[in-house]
Amino acid sequence: MEAVLDQFDAVLKAFGYTALLFAVSGVFSVLLGTLLVSMRVGPIAVLNRAAAVYITVVRNTPLVMIFMFFQLGAGKVWNLLNFQWVDIHIGTLDFTSFFTAAVVSLSLYTACFVAEALRSGVNAVPLGQAEAARAIGLPFSGVMSQVVLPQAFRASVPPLASTLIALLKNTSVAAAFGVLEAAAQMKIFTNNHADQRWGIFIAFALGYIILVEVVSLFATLLERRWRIA
Amino acid sequence: MPAAVLFDAPGPATVARHRIYTFVGIAAIAGLIAFAFYRLWASGQMTYEKWEPFFTPRYIEAILVDGLLITLQMAFLAIIGAVVFGVIFGVGKLSDHAWLRWPCWLVVEFFRAVPVILLMIFCFYAIFGDFEPLNTRTYWSVVLALTLYNGAVLAEVFRAGVNAVPKGQAEAAYAIGMRKTQVMTLVLLPQAVKIMIPAIISQCVVALKDTALGYVIAGVGLTRMARQIFPTFQNHVATIIVIASLYILVNLLLTWLANWVQRKYVGEKKVLEVSMVGEHGTTTGAPFDSR
């Protein structure tokens, strides 16, 4: 435990990377997931199939393989995809090609789960709601924006929260691919301080638990706030 | 919600518009695929040398035996361990005694909230630190870490499964004079298992995918094969495609099996819903109290 306390700023920085990975890929995966789900439930059969195939393939691929592709493979196929053009420094934090590759992998992977979570939300809206909306003469846009989507959005908060918590835990995969986030920092500590392994593990586990609890508390609050009746 | 309700039966103008969207969609997707293949070809990834190991019997055997088989073994052992862990802690969480319920709740929540990679690193250095050779050390670290994580998830599945059995079942069992243990083992468990099997098979997919996380600690199974093929052939793209396809194939088989079991034994009933980690207000759950 002393090792953790002595170098507490290193620990904080590591968890900072974890939180940033989570935030940036969270935004991108929600955006991509929304695109996927609108293709998935939309009326165009081709886009429907394409989204379904993408979701099936990616959600059955281990995240490590996706990371491996964007770390070792993609740059060899197309120069732009080696992400060497990303080189941003804010304060003491560096956002390099490793960070970008991690964000891309996490976003592409998480997007399918986001899409499935949103789709389960759409499916949770009772059939009668859409029928009633149609019966009172709302056009498609009205049915969607006034009746179906508001309910679907509420219903998809819990599965979406689970997905985001999984994303938070999955950021640790970046440890194996050159991002010095919490899991990587823990590996370094564990390697250097053989006598304090239990303490180090407990400390880092607590860090993750705190982050997870923050996300889940936030989700619970939102769910309560938006619950109808 | 079926799409038919969301959308009006399209009229002639909409049909024409949809046709345009369809063509644009096909063109975009075909363009993407064509571009991907063009880049693969232009960057020299499609040459025979890059794909040679996957046509060489010696390598195919190594990938299947030292790769796929080891990966499946790890996933299998982890799931067996996880079921045992899940039953023990799931029953523990359902206990009437607070001194038993709370520790079980704590253990389950802990392992559900901590990333598997953290567990693997910890197992690798602290628990199996003295294991030789490296291969066995990685192997058992992966198995133990996955057992703990999936076990915690299954404990939750298990609790949900027991709670999904209609309340009258337990009440009837008590009415004919069964003891608590008998109610659990003779009445609730057999019915809960039926509901849980699809969820357990789905968890196999998770476990199988997560064996790849062993990459963090030197890698074992398929990811290790990938690491060994890279330096000889310099064929990262081809190897990643082949190894990922193997994972996808096995996972699709498992998913299909889960769906089949669901249809055959559970019917079209909803799949078990498990609360998310750290969810508040769902922590107590003795099935025997009359809520």
Q: Does A201 touch chain B (CB under 8 A)?
A: yes
- Domains of chain A and any CATH numbers: 2-226 (1.10.3720.10)
Residues 6+ apart with CB under 8 A from B82: B146, B147, B149, B150, B151, B153, B154, B203, B207
Contact state of B276 with A165 under an 8 Å Cβ cutoff: yes
Q: Which of A55-69, B235-249, B270-284 has the lowest mean pLDDT?
A: B270-284
Residues A34-49: tens digit of each pLDDT: 999 888 888 888 999 9
Contact state of A165 with B277 under an 8 Å Cβ cutoff: yes
Nearest C-alpha neighbor of A102 from the set A76, A73, A58, A64: A64
Nearest C-alpha neighbor of B199 from the set B164, B170, B167, B168: B164
Closest residue in A to B46 (Cα) is A77
Query: Which residues in chain B touch residue A148, judged by CB atoms under 8 angstroms apart?
Result: 1, 6
Q: Does A176 touch chain B (CB under 8 A)?
A: yes
The whole-number pLDDT of residue B19 equals 92
The whole-number pLDDT of residue B291 equals 28
The whole-number pLDDT of residue B284 equals 34
Interface test with A, best of B216, B228, B239, B273 (most A CBs within 10 A): B216
The whole-number pLDDT of residue B153 equals 92
Q: Is the ipTM of this complex over 0.95?
A: no
**pLDDT reading at B289 higher than 50:** no
Domain boundary assignment for chain B: 3-42, 54-266
Separation in Å, CA of B227 to nearest CA in chain A: 10
**pLDDT reading at B82 higher than 60:** yes
The amino acid present at B72, given as its one-letter code, is L
The stretches of chain A forming alpha helices (DSSP H) are 2-6, 8-41, 45-59, 63-68, 74-77, 97-124, 127-135, 140-142, 149-155, 157-170, 182-192, 197-226
Residues 6+ apart with CB under 8 A from A208: A18, A168, A169, A172, A182, B113, B114, B115, B118
**pLDDT reading at A149 higher than 60:** yes
Are the C-beta atoms of B173 and B182 separated by less than 8 Å? Answer: yes
DSSP A91: T
Query: Which residues in chain B touch residue A197, judged by CB atoms under 8 angstroms apart?
Result: 122, 125-126
Contact state of A50 with B25 under an 8 Å Cβ cutoff: yes
Average pLDDT score over chain B: 85
- The C-alpha atoms of residue A40 and residue A43 are separated, in whole angstroms, by 8
Superfamily of domain B54-266: MetI-like (1.10.3720.10)
The whole-number pLDDT of residue A227 equals 77
Query: Which residues in chain B touch residue A68, judged by CB atoms under 8 angstroms apart?
Result: 215, 223, 226, 236, 240
Separation in Å, CA of A117 to nearest CA in chain B: 13
Contact state of B6 with A56 under an 8 Å Cβ cutoff: no
Confidence of residue B229 (pLDDT cuts 50, 70, 90): confident
Quote the tokens at residue A154.
């509420």
**pLDDT reading at A21 higher than 90:** yes
The whole-number pLDDT of residue A207 equals 93
Q: Does B172 touch chain A (CB under 8 A)?
A: no
Residues 6+ apart with CB under 8 A from B279: A158, A216, A220
Residues A86-131: tens digit of each pLDDT: 778 887 778 888 899 999 999 999 999 999 999 888 888 888 888 8
The whole-number pLDDT of residue B278 equals 57
Residues B209-228: tens digit of each pLDDT: 999 998 888 878 888 888 88
Interface test with B, best of A41, A58, A68, A143 (most B CBs within 10 A): A68
Question: How far is the CA of B17 from the CAs of B11, B20, B23, B78, in angstroms?
Answer: 10, 5, 10, 52
- The C-alpha atoms of residue B255 and residue B30 are separated, in whole angstroms, by 28
Contact state of A170 with B115 under an 8 Å Cβ cutoff: yes
Q: Does B16 touch chain A (CB under 8 A)?
A: no
